[in-house]
Amino acid sequence: MDYIGECCLAFTANNINFLIPVSGVKRVCDARQGTAAEEDMRVLNFPVIAGRTEERQWDYILILETGRTVFGLLAEEILGLRVLKEEELLSLHPPVLNERNQYLQAVAKLRGDDGIAVLGYLLNPEQLYQRIINYSGSPPGGA
Q: Around 5, how many Cα atoms within 13 Å sit in the side-chain half-sphere?
A: 1
| pLDDT confidence of residue 34 | 66
- Return d(Cα 8, Cα 120) in angstroms, integer: 11
Per-residue model confidence as pLDDT tens for the chain (143 residues): 566 778 999 999 988 999 999 999 999 988 877 655 555 788 888 888 888 887 777 789 999 998 888 999 989 999 999 998 888 899 999 998 888 888 999 999 987 778 888 899 999 999 998 888 876 544 444 43
Domains of the chain, residue spans: 7-136
Whole-structure pTM value:
0.84
Q: Around 36, how many Cα atoms within 13 Å sit in the side-chain half-sphere?
A: 6
